[in-house]
Structure 1
Amino acid sequence: MGKIELKAVEKWYGEAQVIKGVDLTIDDSEFVIFVGPSGCGKSTLLRMIAGLEETSRGQVIIDGRDATAEPPSKRGLAMVFQSYALYPHMSVRDNMGFSLKTAGAPKAEQEEKVAEAARALRLEEYLDRRPKDLSGGQRQRVAIGRSIVRDPTAFLFDEPLSNLDASLRVEMRYEIAKLHQALNATMIYVTHDQVEAMTLADRIVVLSAGRIEQVGSPRELYEHPANLFVAQFIGSPKMNILPCTVAEDAFSLPGGGGGPATGAAGATQLGIRPEAIAIGATGGGHVDGTVDVTEYLGADAYLIVDCGASGKLTVRTDGETSLRPGDPIGLTFEDRKLHFFDADGIALR
């Protein structure tokens, strides 16, 4: 079992409150990712679960027991840090089995568990090497293997891929996803990289200034953001936001375009994803604009379009587009993918 519950947890440093009454339930075998901007409290919250930071108020419940006052060694959790923290003078085998050795486990048990972890992480051929002889991705797998042998209640990952280059991050995302499938273990993962969050998580917890803004599956957060913060944080490029007014179930834009807006009374801002905008001739869409910048990415291209009073919009289009800076275009929004927000940034539909 690996169920973890946070009940109204708070963290204070003197007069400064950095975690502000967080309530969250993480179910057994679930992969949950904490995301948010720098300073939002995601790593602090993870360290509170691990016991590396004291919980000022509230409760941390692990498998039904109150673990708030327990030291890290009693919580049955394994933490994988950004730094590999491997012993350079030890082999991969000895690094992975070190915690079992210090706990006095029989040698046969040590060997069995190290062998199982090495198979899961495809490290068998590296067991007799030292960390200096491994790539960054292999070292991170050894650090993960060191946690696996302890058979923990849950795995806690604190930005484990941030030290790796782009290709290794892709490789390790795959490794971690396969590991979760193989172990069926509870995993809590902190990252600032929303690609990691979108591709790995069962549920994402979006944090801002010590509070949870929204919890949901990657699809729920992308398609139904609860507020303007989540709408612009989840998704790359971020959602376009335009000023609008709504009257009698219809919206109007500063440039004169508009359309139906049932259920969006009181909206002051309209949101639309870059891929939900169609390109056409001027005068026939919601807004007209001029291509400002073209960003070619191969199969796709992003157009930054200056739409005057409606602002600069990002449009995702085919990489074979012939549009260039200075070209006038009309933009049409997909009606069913419009998002409306009130003056406080709360989603209306």
Structure 2
Amino acid sequence: MGSIELNAVEKWYGEVQVIKGIDLSIQDGEFVIFVGPSGCGKSTLLRMIAGLEETSRGQILIDGRDATAEPPSKRGLAMVFQSYALYPHMSVAENMGFSLKTAGASKAEQQEKVAEAARALRLEGYLERRPKDLSGGQRQRVAIGRSIVRDPTAFLFDEPLSNLDAALRVEMRYEIAKLHQQLQASMVYVTHDQVEAMTLADRIVVLNAGRIEQVGSPKELYDHPDNLFVAQFIGSPKMNVIDLPCAELRLHDAPEGAAHLGIRPEAMRLTAPGAGDLDGRVDVSEYLGADIFLIVDCGAAGKLTMRIDGESTLPPGETIGLSFAPEKRHFFTRDGLAIR
């Protein structure tokens, strides 16, 4: 079992409140990812679950047990940090089995658990190497393996891929996704990279200034954001937002109370000038192979980003029409709340 429940959890540093009444249930075997801008409280919240930060108010339940006041060693959780923190003088096998050794496990049990974790992480051929002989991705796998051998209730990851280059990040995303499939263990993962969140998570928790803005599957958050913050935080490039009313926008069916129109880059189509919802001038064309991102200057509507086919040829300065898919439009109130 690996359920985690947060009830009205708060964190105060003196007079400053950084976590503001979080309620969240994480089911056994679920992969939940915390995302949000720097300083939103995602790492603090993870450390509170781990017991590395004291909970000022509220309750943390692990498998139904009140763990709010328990030390980290009693919570049955394993944490993987940004830093690998491997012992340089020990082999991979010794690093992975160190916690078992200090807990008094027999040598046979240590070897069995390390071998099992090594198979899961494809490290069988590296067990006798030292950390200095491994790549960054391999070192991170060793750090994860060190957690696996403890057979934890749940895994906590604090931006584990942030120190890796782009290629290794892609490789490790795959490794972590496969690991979750194999272990069927609860995982709580903090990242500022929304690509990691969208590709790995069963559910994403979007945090902002110590509060939860929205919780849902990647598709739910992308297709049905509750507010402007989530709409523009989830998705790359981010959702375009046009303030209403806009004289240059040919829009006749905005719902009552709509102060903003949101449209994602892929929900716009090219039309002849005057034939679509809006006209604009191509400002910059960013070629990405299969796709091109057009930044289009639409006057009072602002500069909008549009995703088009990579075979298209539209030089900067050309005037184009933009048509919005009606079912893909998002409307928000003046306060930024979605209008359903």
Instruction: Pick the TM interval, shorter chain.
Output: over 0.9
* CA distances 1:135-188 after superposition (whole Å, capped 9, x unpaired): 000000000000000000000000000000000000000000000000000000
Q: Secondary structure at the residue paired with 1:207?
A: strand
In 2, the alpha carbon distance for the partners of 1:295 and 1:256 equals 25
Which residue matches 1:285? 276
**Partner deviation per Cα, 1:73-93 (whole Å, 9 max, x = no partner):** 000000000000000000000
Following superposition, the deviation at residue 254 of structure 1 comes to 2.2
Aligned residue runs from structure 1 range 22-33, under 5 A: 22-33=22-33
Q: Please, what TM-score do these two structures have when normalized by structure 2?
A: 0.99
> 2:91 is matched with which residue?
91
Distance in 1 (alpha carbons) for counterparts of 2:250 and 2:118: 60
Contact 2:249 2:301 in 1 (8 A): no
Runs of 4+ in 1 over 3 A off after TM superposition: none
Aligned twin of 2:203: 203
Q: CA deviation at 1:279?
A: 0.6
Q: Which residue of structure 2 aligns with residue 111 of structure 1?
A: 111
Residues 1:217 and 2:217 are matched in the alignment: yes
Letter matched to residue 255 of structure 1: E
Aligned residues: 340
In 2, Cα distance between equivalents of 1:270 and 1:210: 27
Relative distance call for 1:89 and 1:256 in structure 2 (3 A) is closer
Q: 2:315 aligns with which of 303, 309, 324?
A: 324
- Please give the alpha-carbon distance, in whole angstroms, between the structure 1 residues aligned to 2:49 and 2:260: 37
Residue matched to 2:331: 340
Matched, 1:294 2:293: no
Per-residue deviation, 1:321: 1.3
Structure 1 unaligned regions, length at least 5: 246-252
Distance (whole Å) between structure 2 residues aligned to residue 8 and residue 55 of structure 1: 10
Normalised to the residue count of structure 1, the TM-score between the two structures is 0.97
Are 1:258 and 2:235 matched, yes or no? no
- How big is each residue's C-alpha offset from its partner over 1:110-136, in whole Å with a ceiling of 9 and x where there is no partner? 100000000000000000000000000
Counterpart in the other structure of 2:298:
307
Aligned ranges for residues 168-187 of structure 1 at < 5 Å?
168-187=168-187
- Alpha carbons 1:40, 1:208 under 8 Å: kept: yes
What are the equivalent positions in structure 2 for 1:103-252 lying under 5 Å apart? Answer: 103-245=103-245
Give the C-alpha shift of residue 256 in structure 1.
4.3
Matched, 1:76 2:76: yes
Q: Is the 8 A contact 2:19 2:45 kept in 1?
A: yes
Letter in 1 for 2:269: A
Q: Residues of 1 paired with 2:276 and 2:81: CA distance?
A: 50
Tell me, in whole angstroms, the C-alpha distance in 2 between the residues paired with 1:234 and 1:322: 28
SS of the residue aligned with 1:258?
coil
1:344 is paired with a residue of what secondary structure?
Answer: coil
Partner residue in 2 for 1:54: 54
Residue identity opposite 1:244 in structure 2? L
Q: Distance in 2 between matches of 1:254 and 1:15?
A: 47
Q: 1:276, 1:111 → 2: CA distance? A: 54
Describe the superposition over 1:183-211 as per-residue Cα deviations: whole angstroms up to 9, x where unpaired. 00000000000000000000000000000
Unaligned runs of 5+ in 2: none
Partner residue of 2:101?
101
Q: In the alignment, residue 93 of structure 1 is paired with which amino acid?
A: A
CA distance in 2, matches of 1:258, 1:67: 54
AA aligned to 1:88 is: P
Q: Which residue of 2 aligns with 1:44?
A: 44
Paired amino acid for 2:330: H
* Preserved CA contact (<8 Å) 2:276 2:323: yes
The Cα RMSD (Å) is: 0.6
Q: Equivalent residue for 1:250? A: none
Amino acid at match of 2:333: D
Residue 335 of structure 1 and its aligned partner are, at CA, apart by 0.1
